[in-house]
Amino acid sequence: MREEIAEAAVEQARRAGATYAEARMEDSFTETISARDGALESMERTEDNGWGVRVLVGGGWGFASTTRSDSHAVRDLVAAAVEIAHASATVRKSPSLFYASDFDPAPSAEVAEYASPVQRDPATVPLSEKVALVLDACNEASKGAHVNTANAHLYSREQRKYFVSSNGLRLRQRLTSTGGGVAAHARAEGASYHRSFDNYHQAGFEYVESLNLRAVAQRVGAEAGALVVAPWVEDRRTTVVLGSQMLSLLCHESCGHPIELDRVLGAETAFAGTSFLTTDKLGGFQYGSPHVNLTADATLAEGLGTFGWDDEGVTAQNLPIVRAGNFVGYLSSRDTAPAIGRSSGGCARADGWGRMPMVRMTNVSLEAGPGDTTLADLIAQVDDGYYLDTPSSWSLDDKRLNFNFSTELCYEIKNGKLGELRKGASFSELTPTFWGNCQAVAGLGEWQLWGFLGCAKGEPIQSAAVSHGASPALFTNLNVVKGGK
């Protein structure tokens, strides 16, 4: 689409009385290739082009978006956004939690560009190469004992954004992400079990090549077959070592969501809920043990939540969230940060051209522990417990305090070594209690980054791509039970 549309929309909004206006155009191309039971099940490619304009008029917010680019599109869409803003202004409070004075027309002119580092552009990779890779992975996963159904997929996305604001910003970004996954479903003795792997990074096709999907598929297929006939986990309160992938979801659900400042202030109360991390806790709440350090880093290499600027034009930042167990920071935007006396943390992101920006996770990660402690070292510290990895279900209350997770993989730990496979492990805990029981985090050599394509938030729903990194960690006093008991 033509960039002049965005610039004309901002100008039109100013003429219509907007004290602040921004327009964002996005073109994206997404490709997913899926195989199932040895056959290529689907090949999906999506071109998504459109633009939106957000205005602050008469003290109210309005946002409107469209795929149209005809000669009347700017006039019609700006008029729609302004009409919506006027309606918003009829149901306002003063003072307001959601209309910060930060949105003023003060000039901050900047013209700049950002692009993901890419070694091998996925668009240039022959389709035959991708198809061969995904079919091979699917076939290898199928070879596991008792495997009833196996599937594999490859994913790539290129997103181009152009952002214009009434205070002079003109920002271009080109974000490329790739990844893939494999899953096997085993059935035996009247039982069924699911084992899977998937991961995505902001990178070119070189990341897909580094995944070694053939070996991953062989492991997934073999584990599915072994797990379906494994004994159920035994219920007990015990010591556990959690794998990096499992901890990445805990970073997401029990840290990433409750530190969204808009959620803390009430913007999501009617849908996803609020947060136990209320603003009075900032800087004075023990979120976890001294081993727990969490960071939200929008500059992290290969993170899906990495960018040059957020969708309000604020530069990407690396924010401390938890330091030695103490809660010190939120994810914030221009309209929410003033509520805690800070400036925006640069976390306002939008799911494509059709959505307004809101506070989203970037890359919220558990920092590696000091030294070179390995996963094996952590397991060696456990006389009797479990090693758990790969989430299979997750559920949290509406303050992100009480959670329940289930895992695909569970090994017994006996006398410092991995023992038998067990299936169906679940655990429930309160968030600060769980992180407070963290006794050790493995070192940087074990730290892995996991990409999530579909973090849901907001109405209409917005799906954000985010990443979380973690090293395996050891937790005491966790109540592990058979899933769904």
Partner 1 sequence: MSLNLIGQEQALARLEAALKTSTAEQTELLLLRRSQAVTRYAHGEIHQNVYQDDVQVGVRVVVNGAVARLTVHSLEPDALARTLAQAVATAKLLQPNPLFKSLAGPQADSTGPATAPYFYASVAGQLPQTRADAVREIVAAAEGAGFASFGTYKATVDELAVVNSLGVRAYAPSTTAYLRALFDNGQGTGYADALSRDADELDAAALGRTAAEKCRLNQNQREIAPGDYAVVLEPDCVADMVRFPVGWGLHARAVQDGYSFMIDKLGQRVTGAQVTLWDDARDPRCRPLAIDYEGQPTQRVNLITNGVAEGVVYDSYTASQEPGKTTTGHAYNPFEYGDAVLPANVLMAAGEASISDLVSHLERGLLVTRLHYTHCPDPQRVVATGTTRDGTFLVEDGKIVAAVRNLRFTQSVLELLDTVEELGQAKLCQDWWSQNGMGDINYYVPALRIGRCTFTGVTTF
**Scanning residues 114 to 133, which ones bind partner 1 (CB under 8 A)?**
127-128, 131
Q: Which of 19, 286, 318, 402 binds partner 1 (CB under 8 A)?
A: 402
Q: Which of 143, 187, 219, 342 binds partner 1 (CB under 8 A)?
A: 187
Confirm if 325 and 288 have CB atoms less than 8 A apart. yes
Residue 163 is inside which H or E element, if any?
strand 147-165
Is residue 143 close enough to count as binding partner 1 by CB under 8 A? Answer: no
Question: Contacts with partner 1: how many residues (CB under 8 A)?
Answer: 91
Q: Which of 61, 103, 327, 475 binds partner 1 (CB under 8 A)?
A: 61
Q: Which of 338, 394, 439, 448 binds partner 1 (CB under 8 A)?
A: 394
Is residue 63 close enough to count as binding partner 1 by CB under 8 A? Answer: yes
Strands of 397-437 (E only): list them. 402-414, 417-422, 425-430
3-state DSSP assignment of residue 466: strand
Q: Which is nearer to partner 1, 249 or 364 (CB)?
A: 249
The residue count of the chain comes to 485
Is residue 136 close enough to count as binding partner 1 by CB under 8 A? Answer: no
Q: In Å, how far from its chain's centre is CA 178?
A: 14
Q: How far is the CB of 371 from partner 1 (least distance, A)?
A: 35
Confirm if 333 and 359 have CB atoms less than 8 A apart. yes
> Which region, judged by CB under 8 A, interacts with partner 1, from 112-120, 158-166, 200-208, 354-362?
354-362
Strands of 298-447 (E only): list them. 318-323, 326-327, 348-349, 358-359, 364-366, 384-396, 402-414, 417-422, 425-430, 438-441
Is residue 235 close enough to count as binding partner 1 by CB under 8 A? Answer: no
Residue 7 is inside which H or E element, if any?
helix 3-15
Q: Which of 19, 139, 149, 315 binds partner 1 (CB under 8 A)?
A: 149
Q: Which is nearer to partner 1, 343 or 395 (CB)?
A: 395
Is residue 444 close enough to count as binding partner 1 by CB under 8 A? Answer: no
Is residue 37 close enough to count as binding partner 1 by CB under 8 A? Answer: yes
Half-sphere exposure of 214 (CA within 13 A, CB side): 5
The full DSSP string for 186-239 is EEETTEEEEEEEEEEESS-HHHHHHH-HHHHHHHHHHHHHHHHTSPBPPPEEEE
Q: Which of 324, 343, 395, 420 binds partner 1 (CB under 8 A)?
A: 395
Is residue 102 close enough to count as binding partner 1 by CB under 8 A? Answer: no
- Dist. CA 121–CA 166, nearest whole Å: 34
Q: Which of 229, 328, 430, 453 binds partner 1 (CB under 8 A)?
A: 430
Q: Which is nearer to partner 1, 16 or 131 (CB)?
A: 131
- Dist. CA 467–CA 452, nearest whole Å: 6
Q: Which is nearer to partner 1, 291 or 355 (CB)?
A: 355
